[in-house]
Amino acid sequence: MKPSAPTSVLDLGVDLPWWLRTKFGQQPVLGQHRLHDQALFSDDALIALLDRFPRQHLYAHSMGNDPARLEDNHRVAIGDIDGAALLTAVKAGRLWLNLTRIDRAEAPYRQLISSLYEALSAQIPGFMPDASQGTLLISSPEALVYYHADAPASVLWHIRGRKRVWVYPALDHRYLAPELLEDIFAGVRHEYLPYLPAYDHAAVVHDLRPGQWLAWPQNAPHRVSNLDSVNVSLSTEHFTAASRRRFRVRVANRWFRIRLGFRELSTREDGAMAWAKTLTQRMARNLGLDPVKIHQQRPSLRLVAKASGHGHGVEAVTGDRE
């Protein structure tokens, strides 16, 4: 990431205790920030944001109560329901809104995310991401996110409400089969994963309050349950030479597995073999020999206006299947 002039860096109170600074990326670490002091996250600001945010990048989900029942997770179509009604629906129902790539649509968020990473880079030895992006999460009391693993490395900046986060061991076959991770990297499956409650014995659990951020090793499975309040968090993702190497090796391993039947290839991210596998997969892709069908979850519910409302005109998602 290019360093900005010091005057452009927002003072967001980012801090990680010194004894955790060498652990960043290696184990879950909990730090501090002051994002919640920013006017960007008030109800009025969120309503205005929801009104102008490109709807094709705004994803809504509804869910059940049991983290083991992924079948209760539904993508929700929100149509042209306005920002105020959407926020009301979040407060009253079980909705999870993802404003994806908010850094692309909103300049203040781009600056915010850049400033957050500049602050992290200043504190964490050797941490120099070359790109970053973010998704704003606005979610209902007691809403949850099912057990999953993300391809990029990420940091969760918690801003409003309380939430509980479970983080499971990274790159451990007992919690995430390598084939599933390869498919996630290739974009051919959603990030959701098979989950058993017994996994929780291995989890690190944090109850986050506003002003805290949590980071975990890249690809560590995790899940989230909101406590009894509306939650606002910023999820940021960062990219480094190492994270790109992992991406390339896992995508190459998938190609060798799917196309040539190789199993349990090395996941080593450096050296001649990693380079050769990556090069082979790239050549195959360029020749059209690695066709991938990008997975997209389609809405199965939609948010509907109340026939007789109490002024808000929106009900929680019980809605019609599309």
E strands along 200-317, which residues? 204-208, 212-215, 222-226, 231-239, 299-302
CB of residue 259 vs Fe ion: minimum separation in angstroms? 29
CB of residue 150 vs Fe ion: minimum separation in angstroms? 4
Buried b (16+ CB within 10 A) or exposed e, 289-320: ebeeeeeeeebebbbbeeeeeeeebbbbbebe
Q: By C-beta, is 225 or 280 nearer to Fe ion?
A: 225
Nearby residues of 154 by Cβ (< 8 Å), 6 or more positions away:
215, 216, 218, 235, 236, 237, 238
Q: Which of 15, 150, 200, 269 binds Fe ion (CB under 5 A)?
A: 150
Determine the Cα–Cα distance for residues 316 and 322; give it in Å rounded to an integer. 16
CB of residue 248 vs Fe ion: minimum separation in angstroms? 21
Sheet containing 204-208: which strands, arranged edge to edge? 144-148, 222-226, 163-167, 204-208
CB of residue 133 vs Fe ion: minimum separation in angstroms? 14
Residue whose beta carbon is closest to Fe ion: 150
Gyration radius (Cα) of the chain, Å: 20
Distances from the Cα of 198 to the Cα of 72, 96, 293, angstroms: 20, 26, 33
Q: By C-beta, is 85 or 181 nearer to Fe ion?
A: 181
The encoded tokens of residue 213 equal: 């951020």
Q: By C-beta, is 82 or 150 nearer to Fe ion?
A: 150
Q: By C-beta, is 16 or 215 nearer to Fe ion?
A: 215
Q: By C-beta, is 195 or 255 nearer to Fe ion?
A: 195
Interior CA angle at 231 toward 19 and 196, to 5°? 75
CB of residue 148 vs Fe ion: minimum separation in angstroms? 6
What is the chain's length? 322
- Taking CB under 5 A as the binding criterion, the range among 61-69, 85-93, 148-156, 306-314 that sits at the site for Fe ion is 148-156
User: Any contact of residue 225 with Fe ion (CB under 5 A)?
Assistant: no
Determine the Cα–Cα distance for residues 99 and 87; give it in Å rounded to an integer. 13
Contact pattern from residue 107 through residue 146 relative to Fe ion, giving x for each residue in contact according to CB under 5 A and a dash for the rest: ----------------------------------------
Determine the Cα–Cα distance for residues 151 and 171; give it in Å rounded to an integer. 12
Q: How many chain residues interact with Fe ion (CB under 5 A)?
A: 1
Neighbours of 151 (CB within 10 A): 19
Q: By C-beta, is 150 or 200 nearer to Fe ion?
A: 150
CB of residue 235 vs Fe ion: minimum separation in angstroms? 7
Nearby residues of 183 by Cβ (< 8 Å), 6 or more positions away:
189, 254
CB of residue 272 vs Fe ion: minimum separation in angstroms? 33
Q: By C-beta, is 221 or 255 nearer to Fe ion?
A: 221
Phi, psi dihedral angles at 300 (to 5 degrees)? -120, -5
Q: By C-beta, is 215 or 316 nearer to Fe ion?
A: 215
Q: By C-beta, is 142 or 150 nearer to Fe ion?
A: 150
CB of residue 268 vs Fe ion: minimum separation in angstroms? 25
CB of residue 5 vs Fe ion: minimum separation in angstroms? 33
Contacting positions for Fe ion (CB under 5 A): 150
